[in-house]
Protein backbone atom coordinates (compact mmCIF):
# COMPACT_ATOMS: atom_id res chain seq x y z
CA UNK A 1 0.00 0.00 0.00
CA UNK A 2 1.26 3.46 -0.90
CA UNK A 3 2.51 5.45 2.07
CA UNK A 4 1.18 9.01 1.79
CA UNK A 5 4.12 10.27 3.84
CA UNK A 6 6.40 9.62 0.87
CA UNK A 7 4.57 12.18 -1.24
CA UNK A 8 4.29 14.59 1.69
CA UNK A 9 8.08 14.55 2.08
CA UNK A 10 8.84 14.88 -1.63
CA UNK A 11 11.13 17.89 -2.19
CA UNK A 12 9.44 19.82 -5.01
CA UNK A 13 11.81 22.75 -4.56
CA UNK A 14 14.81 20.55 -5.36
CA UNK A 15 13.06 19.10 -8.42
CA UNK A 16 11.94 22.47 -9.80
CA UNK A 17 15.39 23.94 -9.20
CA UNK A 18 17.01 21.09 -11.16
CA UNK A 19 14.47 21.29 -14.01
CA UNK A 20 14.97 25.06 -14.26
CA UNK A 21 18.71 24.56 -14.83
CA UNK A 22 18.01 21.76 -17.35
CA UNK A 23 15.69 23.76 -19.56
CA UNK A 24 17.73 26.96 -19.39
CA UNK A 25 20.56 24.69 -20.54
CA UNK A 26 18.46 23.45 -23.48
CA UNK A 27 17.91 27.05 -24.59
CA UNK A 28 21.65 27.75 -24.22
CA UNK A 29 22.51 24.64 -26.28
CA UNK A 30 20.08 25.76 -29.00
CA UNK A 31 21.74 29.16 -29.17
CA UNK A 32 25.31 27.81 -28.91
CA UNK A 33 24.86 25.30 -31.75
CA UNK A 34 23.34 27.74 -34.26
CA UNK A 35 26.69 28.37 -35.93
CA UNK A 36 27.48 24.70 -36.56
CA UNK A 37 27.53 23.60 -40.17
CA UNK A 38 26.20 20.16 -39.22
CA UNK A 39 22.46 19.61 -39.18
CA UNK A 40 22.58 17.91 -35.77
CA UNK A 41 20.03 19.48 -33.45
CA UNK A 42 21.79 19.14 -30.14
CA UNK A 43 19.04 20.87 -28.20
CA UNK A 44 16.48 18.28 -29.38
CA UNK A 45 18.82 15.46 -28.37
CA UNK A 46 19.29 17.10 -24.99
CA UNK A 47 15.52 17.02 -24.42
CA UNK A 48 15.59 13.30 -25.16
CA UNK A 49 18.41 12.88 -22.66
CA UNK A 50 16.43 14.80 -20.04
CA UNK A 51 13.48 12.47 -20.61
CA UNK A 52 15.67 9.37 -20.23
CA UNK A 53 17.32 10.87 -17.14
CA UNK A 54 13.93 11.57 -15.52
CA UNK A 55 12.93 7.97 -16.21
CA UNK A 56 16.12 6.67 -14.57
CA UNK A 57 15.59 9.02 -11.63
CA UNK A 58 11.99 7.81 -11.20
CA UNK A 59 13.21 4.20 -10.99
CA UNK A 60 15.67 5.21 -8.26
CA UNK A 61 12.83 6.85 -6.31
CA UNK A 62 10.86 3.60 -6.28
CA UNK A 63 13.61 1.67 -4.46
CA UNK A 64 14.43 2.11 -0.78
CA UNK A 65 17.89 3.71 -0.47
CA UNK A 66 18.88 1.12 2.12
CA UNK A 67 18.39 -1.59 -0.51
CA UNK A 68 20.45 0.43 -3.00
CA UNK A 69 23.14 0.79 -0.34
CA UNK A 70 23.38 -2.97 0.15
CA UNK A 71 24.20 -3.30 -3.55
CA UNK A 72 26.65 -0.39 -3.57
CA UNK A 73 29.81 -2.52 -3.79
CA UNK A 74 28.29 -4.49 -6.69
CA UNK A 75 27.42 -1.26 -8.54
CA UNK A 76 30.90 0.09 -7.88
CA UNK A 77 32.51 -3.13 -9.08
CA UNK A 78 30.50 -3.06 -12.31
CA UNK A 79 31.56 0.53 -12.98
CA UNK A 80 35.21 -0.39 -12.37
CA UNK A 81 34.87 -3.26 -14.87
CA UNK A 82 33.39 -0.77 -17.37
CA UNK A 83 36.35 1.56 -16.80
CA UNK A 84 38.74 -1.29 -17.55
CA UNK A 85 36.85 -2.34 -20.67
CA UNK A 86 36.53 1.18 -22.06
CA UNK A 87 40.33 1.49 -22.24
CA UNK A 88 40.45 -1.52 -24.56
CA UNK A 89 37.20 -1.26 -26.46
CA UNK A 90 36.25 2.40 -26.08
CA UNK A 91 36.03 5.17 -28.64
CA UNK A 92 37.13 8.79 -28.70
CA UNK A 93 39.41 11.29 -30.33
CA UNK A 94 42.91 10.21 -29.20
CA UNK A 95 41.40 8.97 -25.91
CA UNK A 96 39.21 6.02 -24.91
CA UNK A 97 36.43 7.26 -22.65
CA UNK A 98 33.17 6.13 -24.27
CA UNK A 99 31.30 3.03 -25.31
CA UNK A 100 29.40 3.47 -28.56
CA UNK A 101 26.01 1.75 -28.17
CA UNK A 102 23.75 2.13 -31.20
CA UNK A 103 25.35 5.44 -32.12
CA UNK A 104 25.04 6.72 -28.54
CA UNK A 105 28.19 7.46 -26.49
CA UNK A 106 28.15 6.33 -22.85
CA UNK A 107 30.93 7.50 -20.53
CA UNK A 108 31.55 5.17 -17.53
CA UNK A 109 33.60 7.79 -15.65
CA UNK A 110 30.46 9.93 -15.21
CA UNK A 111 28.82 7.09 -13.29
CA UNK A 112 32.04 6.31 -11.40
CA UNK A 113 31.67 9.53 -9.40
CA UNK A 114 28.36 8.41 -7.92
CA UNK A 115 29.22 4.72 -7.52
CA UNK A 116 32.31 5.81 -5.55
CA UNK A 117 30.27 8.05 -3.26
CA UNK A 118 27.74 5.25 -2.80
CA UNK A 119 30.42 2.70 -1.90
CA UNK A 120 32.31 5.00 0.50
CA UNK A 121 29.04 6.06 2.17
CA UNK A 122 27.99 2.45 2.67
CA UNK A 123 31.38 1.67 4.17
CA UNK A 124 30.77 4.29 6.88
CA UNK A 125 27.27 2.98 7.69
CA UNK A 126 26.10 2.93 11.32
CA UNK A 127 28.01 -0.19 12.38
CA UNK A 128 31.34 1.43 11.49
CA UNK A 129 33.43 3.47 13.87
CA UNK A 130 33.82 7.14 13.01
CA UNK A 131 35.88 9.83 14.69
CA UNK A 132 39.60 9.91 15.46
CA UNK A 133 40.38 7.78 12.40
CA UNK A 134 43.98 7.13 11.39
CA UNK A 135 45.48 6.09 8.09
CA UNK A 136 44.86 2.39 8.73
CA UNK A 137 41.16 3.10 9.32
CA UNK A 138 40.66 4.71 5.92
CA UNK A 139 42.65 2.28 3.76
CA UNK A 140 39.49 0.65 2.37
CA UNK A 141 37.83 4.01 1.50
CA UNK A 142 41.12 5.06 -0.08
CA UNK A 143 41.04 1.93 -2.22
CA UNK A 144 37.38 2.53 -3.17
CA UNK A 145 38.40 5.95 -4.49
CA UNK A 146 41.91 5.09 -5.66
CA UNK A 147 41.04 2.27 -8.07
CA UNK A 148 38.61 4.30 -10.24
CA UNK A 149 40.88 7.34 -9.85
CA UNK A 150 43.83 5.43 -11.35
CA UNK A 151 41.72 3.99 -14.18
CA UNK A 152 40.22 7.36 -15.08
CA UNK A 153 43.67 9.00 -15.09
CA UNK A 154 44.78 6.36 -17.58
CA UNK A 155 41.96 7.15 -20.04
CA UNK A 156 43.17 9.97 -19.61
CA UNK A 157 40.49 12.15 -17.94
CA UNK A 158 42.20 14.36 -15.38
CA UNK A 159 39.06 16.43 -14.78
CA UNK A 160 36.90 13.57 -13.52
CA UNK A 161 39.82 12.07 -11.59
CA UNK A 162 40.39 15.42 -9.89
CA UNK A 163 36.71 15.58 -8.90
CA UNK A 164 36.97 12.14 -7.29
CA UNK A 165 39.95 13.26 -5.23
CA UNK A 166 38.30 16.51 -4.16
CA UNK A 167 35.00 14.80 -3.31
CA UNK A 168 36.87 12.45 -0.95
CA UNK A 169 37.98 15.34 1.27
CA UNK A 170 34.60 16.39 2.77
CA UNK A 171 33.68 12.71 3.27
CA UNK A 172 36.85 12.18 5.31
CA UNK A 173 36.13 15.27 7.37
CA UNK A 174 32.64 13.97 8.13
CA UNK A 175 34.13 10.56 9.00
CA UNK A 176 36.29 12.23 11.63
CA UNK A 177 39.78 11.64 10.30
CA UNK A 178 42.42 12.83 12.74
CA UNK A 179 43.39 16.44 12.28
CA UNK A 180 47.06 15.45 12.10
CA UNK A 181 46.34 13.11 9.18
CA UNK A 182 44.23 15.75 7.44
CA UNK A 183 47.08 18.23 7.89
CA UNK A 184 49.58 15.76 6.39
CA UNK A 185 47.28 15.12 3.41
CA UNK A 186 46.81 18.86 2.94
CA UNK A 187 50.57 19.44 3.01
CA UNK A 188 51.08 16.65 0.47
CA UNK A 189 48.46 18.28 -1.75
CA UNK A 190 50.18 21.66 -1.52
CA UNK A 191 53.54 20.03 -2.28
CA UNK A 192 52.05 18.27 -5.30
CA UNK A 193 50.79 21.58 -6.65
CA UNK A 194 54.17 23.19 -5.94
CA UNK A 195 55.96 20.38 -7.79
CA UNK A 196 53.59 20.83 -10.71
CA UNK A 197 54.20 24.59 -10.86
CA UNK A 198 57.96 24.15 -10.46
CA UNK A 199 57.96 21.50 -13.16
CA UNK A 200 56.46 23.91 -15.68
CA UNK A 201 58.55 26.81 -14.44
CA UNK A 202 61.92 25.05 -14.50
CA UNK A 203 61.43 22.24 -17.01
CA UNK A 204 64.19 21.04 -19.31
CA UNK A 205 64.52 21.79 -23.02
CA UNK A 206 64.86 18.70 -25.16
CA UNK A 207 65.20 18.59 -28.94
CA UNK A 208 63.52 15.45 -30.27
CA UNK A 209 61.41 14.26 -33.19
CA UNK A 210 58.37 16.09 -31.86
CA UNK A 211 60.31 19.36 -31.75
CA UNK A 212 61.54 18.92 -35.33
CA UNK A 213 58.04 18.06 -36.53
CA UNK A 214 56.66 21.20 -34.91
CA UNK A 215 59.26 23.33 -36.64
CA UNK A 216 58.44 21.74 -40.00
CA UNK A 217 54.73 22.44 -39.50
CA UNK A 218 55.50 26.08 -38.71
CA UNK A 219 57.08 26.58 -42.15
CA UNK A 220 60.56 27.29 -40.76
CA UNK A 221 63.28 27.46 -43.45
CA UNK A 222 64.76 23.98 -44.02
CA UNK A 223 68.28 25.11 -43.16
CA UNK A 224 67.11 26.16 -39.69
CA UNK A 225 65.20 22.92 -39.19
CA UNK A 226 68.37 21.00 -40.04
CA UNK A 227 70.35 22.99 -37.50
CA UNK A 228 67.77 22.21 -34.84
CA UNK A 229 67.80 18.55 -35.91
CA UNK A 230 71.54 18.47 -35.30
CA UNK A 231 70.82 18.96 -31.60
CA UNK A 232 68.33 16.07 -31.48
CA UNK A 233 68.73 13.89 -28.40
CA UNK A 234 70.38 16.63 -26.34
CA UNK A 235 68.94 18.19 -23.19
CA UNK A 236 69.40 21.76 -21.98
CA UNK A 237 68.69 22.86 -18.45
CA UNK A 238 67.80 26.43 -19.38
CA UNK A 239 66.42 28.37 -22.33
CA UNK A 240 69.58 30.49 -22.34
CA UNK A 241 71.74 27.39 -22.77
CA UNK A 242 69.61 26.20 -25.71
CA UNK A 243 69.73 29.65 -27.37
CA UNK A 244 73.50 29.83 -26.93
CA UNK A 245 74.00 26.49 -28.64
CA UNK A 246 71.65 27.42 -31.50
CA UNK A 247 73.25 30.82 -32.12
CA UNK A 248 76.63 29.09 -32.30
CA UNK A 249 75.33 26.92 -35.14
CA UNK A 250 72.91 29.29 -36.88
CA UNK A 251 73.73 32.86 -37.87
CA UNK A 252 70.64 34.52 -36.40
CA UNK A 253 70.19 37.33 -33.89
CA UNK A 254 69.52 36.50 -30.26
CA UNK A 255 65.99 37.95 -30.61
CA UNK A 256 65.07 36.04 -33.78
CA UNK A 257 61.53 34.52 -33.69
CA UNK A 258 63.06 31.20 -34.78
CA UNK A 259 64.72 30.89 -31.39
CA UNK A 260 61.41 31.56 -29.62
CA UNK A 261 59.80 28.85 -31.71
CA UNK A 262 62.49 26.29 -30.91
CA UNK A 263 62.35 27.18 -27.23
CA UNK A 264 58.58 26.65 -27.11
CA UNK A 265 58.70 23.41 -29.09
CA UNK A 266 61.61 21.95 -27.10
CA UNK A 267 60.26 22.73 -23.62
CA UNK A 268 59.48 19.64 -21.53
CA UNK A 269 58.32 19.83 -17.90
CA UNK A 270 60.06 17.53 -15.43
CA UNK A 271 56.88 15.44 -15.09
CA UNK A 272 56.49 14.99 -18.83
CA UNK A 273 56.81 11.20 -18.47
CA UNK A 274 53.58 11.18 -16.41
CA UNK A 275 51.45 13.40 -18.66
CA UNK A 276 50.28 13.09 -22.23
CA UNK A 277 51.49 15.83 -24.62
CA UNK A 278 48.05 17.45 -24.84
CA UNK A 279 47.83 17.52 -21.01
CA UNK A 280 51.20 19.25 -20.83
CA UNK A 281 49.99 21.85 -23.32
CA UNK A 282 46.81 22.43 -21.33
CA UNK A 283 48.72 23.05 -18.11
CA UNK A 284 51.32 25.19 -19.85
CA UNK A 285 48.65 27.33 -21.52
CA UNK A 286 46.77 27.58 -18.21
CA UNK A 287 49.79 29.42 -16.85
CA UNK A 288 50.12 31.48 -20.03
CA UNK A 289 47.32 31.02 -22.65
CA UNK A 290 48.98 33.56 -24.96
CA UNK A 291 51.94 31.20 -25.34
CA UNK A 292 49.89 29.20 -27.85
CA UNK A 293 46.99 31.49 -28.88
CA UNK A 294 46.04 29.42 -31.94
CA UNK A 295 46.57 26.02 -30.31
CA UNK A 296 46.11 24.84 -26.74
CA UNK A 297 45.40 28.35 -25.46
CA UNK A 298 42.74 29.10 -28.07
CA UNK A 299 39.76 27.77 -26.09
CA UNK A 300 40.54 29.78 -22.96
CA UNK A 301 41.26 33.00 -24.84
CA UNK A 302 38.03 32.80 -26.87
CA UNK A 303 36.04 31.83 -23.78
CA UNK A 304 37.29 34.87 -21.87
CA UNK A 305 36.52 37.08 -24.87
CA UNK A 306 32.95 35.74 -24.92
CA UNK A 307 32.40 36.26 -21.19
CA UNK A 308 33.95 39.75 -21.24
CA UNK A 309 31.98 40.90 -24.27
CA UNK A 310 28.72 40.05 -22.50
CA UNK A 311 29.37 42.89 -20.04
CA UNK A 312 26.55 43.39 -17.48
CA UNK A 313 23.31 42.59 -19.35
CA UNK A 314 24.65 40.60 -22.31
CA UNK A 315 24.00 40.78 -26.03
CA UNK A 316 20.67 39.00 -25.95
CA UNK A 317 19.48 35.47 -26.70
CA UNK A 318 20.98 34.07 -29.89
CA UNK A 319 23.27 37.09 -30.36
CA UNK A 320 26.55 35.47 -29.36
CA UNK A 321 29.22 36.35 -31.91
CA UNK A 322 31.69 33.83 -30.46
CA UNK A 323 29.14 31.12 -31.10
CA UNK A 324 27.48 32.15 -34.36
CA UNK A 325 30.84 32.98 -36.00
CA UNK A 326 32.42 29.71 -34.80
CA UNK A 327 35.21 31.31 -32.79
CA UNK A 328 34.68 29.14 -29.68
CA UNK A 329 34.97 25.35 -30.05
CA UNK A 330 33.08 22.89 -27.77
CA UNK A 331 30.63 25.66 -26.99
CA UNK A 332 27.63 23.35 -26.50
CA UNK A 333 29.56 21.15 -24.05
CA UNK A 334 32.51 22.25 -21.90
CA UNK A 335 32.35 25.98 -22.72
CA UNK A 336 28.61 26.56 -22.76
CA UNK A 337 28.90 28.87 -19.75
CA UNK A 338 30.93 31.30 -21.88
CA UNK A 339 28.16 31.49 -24.52
CA UNK A 340 25.50 31.91 -21.84
CA UNK A 341 27.50 34.69 -20.17
CA UNK A 342 28.01 36.45 -23.51
CA UNK A 343 24.28 36.45 -24.25
CA UNK A 344 22.99 37.20 -20.74
CA UNK A 345 25.92 39.08 -19.26
CA UNK A 346 27.10 39.23 -15.68
CA UNK A 347 23.51 39.47 -14.43
CA UNK A 348 22.45 36.27 -16.20
CA UNK A 349 25.59 34.42 -15.10
CA UNK A 350 24.89 35.48 -11.52
CA UNK A 351 21.33 34.11 -11.73
CA UNK A 352 22.64 30.79 -13.06
CA UNK A 353 25.25 30.57 -10.29
CA UNK A 354 22.50 31.36 -7.76
CA UNK A 355 20.43 28.46 -9.11
CA UNK A 356 23.39 26.13 -8.64
CA UNK A 357 24.09 27.48 -5.16
CA UNK A 358 20.44 26.91 -4.20
CA UNK A 359 20.61 23.35 -5.57
CA UNK A 360 23.75 22.48 -3.62
CA UNK A 361 22.54 24.11 -0.39
CA UNK A 362 19.19 22.35 -0.69
CA UNK A 363 21.04 19.08 -1.02
CA UNK A 364 23.28 19.82 1.96
CA UNK A 365 20.25 20.72 4.08
CA UNK A 366 19.06 17.12 3.82
CA UNK A 367 22.05 16.07 5.94
CA UNK A 368 20.39 17.69 8.98
CA UNK A 369 17.16 15.79 8.30
CA UNK A 370 18.69 12.32 7.96
CA UNK A 371 18.58 9.77 10.75
CA UNK A 372 21.30 7.38 9.65
CA UNK A 373 24.98 7.78 8.85
CA UNK A 374 24.82 6.19 5.37
CA UNK A 375 22.34 8.84 4.20
CA UNK A 376 24.40 11.67 5.70
CA UNK A 377 27.58 10.55 3.90
CA UNK A 378 25.73 9.97 0.63
CA UNK A 379 24.03 13.37 0.76
CA UNK A 380 27.30 15.17 1.43
CA UNK A 381 29.08 13.26 -1.35
CA UNK A 382 26.43 13.93 -4.02
CA UNK A 383 26.13 17.61 -3.11
CA UNK A 384 29.93 17.91 -3.19
CA UNK A 385 30.11 16.37 -6.67
CA UNK A 386 27.58 18.82 -8.08
CA UNK A 387 29.13 21.85 -6.39
CA UNK A 388 32.72 20.95 -7.27
CA UNK A 389 31.84 20.25 -10.90
CA UNK A 390 30.17 23.68 -11.21
CA UNK A 391 33.24 25.37 -9.72
CA UNK A 392 35.66 23.48 -11.99
CA UNK A 393 33.67 24.12 -15.19
CA UNK A 394 33.14 27.83 -14.57
CA UNK A 395 36.73 28.24 -13.35
CA UNK A 396 37.88 26.57 -16.57
CA UNK A 397 35.72 28.90 -18.70
CA UNK A 398 37.06 32.07 -17.06
CA UNK A 399 40.69 30.86 -17.11
CA UNK A 400 41.12 30.34 -13.36
CA UNK A 401 41.56 26.57 -13.75
CA UNK A 402 43.14 24.40 -16.46
CA UNK A 403 40.93 23.08 -19.27
CA UNK A 404 40.07 19.57 -18.08
CA UNK A 405 36.89 18.76 -19.99
CA UNK A 406 34.38 18.78 -17.13
CA UNK A 407 30.75 19.49 -18.20
CA UNK A 408 28.48 21.96 -16.42
CA UNK A 409 25.91 19.82 -14.54
CA UNK A 410 22.41 19.69 -16.11
CA UNK A 411 23.50 22.43 -18.53
CA UNK A 412 26.16 21.11 -20.92
CA UNK A 413 25.11 18.81 -23.73
CA UNK A 414 25.68 15.15 -22.93
CA UNK A 415 23.68 12.07 -22.05
CA UNK A 416 26.00 10.34 -19.57
CA UNK A 417 26.39 13.48 -17.49
CA UNK A 418 22.65 14.24 -17.55
CA UNK A 419 21.63 10.71 -16.54
CA UNK A 420 24.25 10.31 -13.81
CA UNK A 421 23.56 13.75 -12.32
CA UNK A 422 19.81 13.14 -12.34
CA UNK A 423 20.32 9.80 -10.60
CA UNK A 424 22.35 11.68 -7.98
CA UNK A 425 19.51 14.17 -7.37
CA UNK A 426 17.02 11.26 -7.29
CA UNK A 427 19.06 9.67 -4.49
CA UNK A 428 18.84 12.95 -2.56
CA UNK A 429 15.05 12.98 -3.05
CA UNK A 430 14.86 9.32 -2.03
CA UNK A 431 16.74 9.98 1.21
CA UNK A 432 14.47 12.91 2.09
CA UNK A 433 11.27 11.03 1.23
CA UNK A 434 12.08 8.01 3.42
CA UNK A 435 13.93 9.67 6.25
CA UNK A 436 11.03 9.03 8.65
CA UNK A 437 11.32 5.26 8.01
CA UNK A 438 14.90 4.97 9.26
CA UNK A 439 16.74 5.56 12.44
Q: Are 197 and 215 contained in the same domain?
A: no
For the segment 126-176, what is each residue's pLDDT rounded down to a tens digit? 767 777 888 888 889 989 998 998 888 777 677 788 888 889 889 988 988
Do residues 428 and 379 lie in contact, with contact meaning Cβ atoms separated by under 8 Å?
A: yes
> 38 lies in which domain range?
4-201+310-437
The candidate with the shortest Cα–Cα distance to 365, out of 439, 421, 422, 435, is 435
Sequence-separated (6 or more) residues with CB below 8 Å from residue 191: none
Domain count, the chain: 2
Instruction: Tell whether 106 is covered by a domain.
Output: yes
- Give the per-residue pLDDT at 255: 64
The candidate with the shortest Cα–Cα distance to 361, out of 81, 45, 13, 94, is 13
Segments in the chain below pLDDT 50: 1, 92-95
- Give the per-residue pLDDT at 94: 43
Q: How many CB atoms lie within 10 A of CB 1?
A: 3
Instruction: Tell whether 298 is covered by a domain.
Output: no
- Give the per-residue pLDDT at 159: 79
Q: Are 78 and 195 contained in the same domain?
A: yes
Instruction: Tell whether 320 is covered by a domain.
Output: yes
Question: Across-strand partners of 268?
Answer: 204
Q: Are 186 and 228 contained in the same domain?
A: no
Q: Are 124 and 8 contained in the same domain?
A: yes
Amino acid sequence: MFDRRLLANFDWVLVLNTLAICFVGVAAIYSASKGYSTSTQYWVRQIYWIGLALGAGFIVLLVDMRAIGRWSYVFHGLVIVALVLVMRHGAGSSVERWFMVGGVALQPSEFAKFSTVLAVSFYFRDNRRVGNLGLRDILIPLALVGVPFALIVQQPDLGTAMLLALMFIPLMILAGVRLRLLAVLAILGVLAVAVLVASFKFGTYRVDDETVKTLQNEDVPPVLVEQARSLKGQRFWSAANLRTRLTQRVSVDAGDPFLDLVETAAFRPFISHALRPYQQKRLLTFINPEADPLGAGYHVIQSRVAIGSGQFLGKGFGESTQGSLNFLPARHTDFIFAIFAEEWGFAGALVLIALYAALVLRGLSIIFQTRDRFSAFLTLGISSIIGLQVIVNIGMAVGLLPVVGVPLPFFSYGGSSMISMTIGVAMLLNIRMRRFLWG
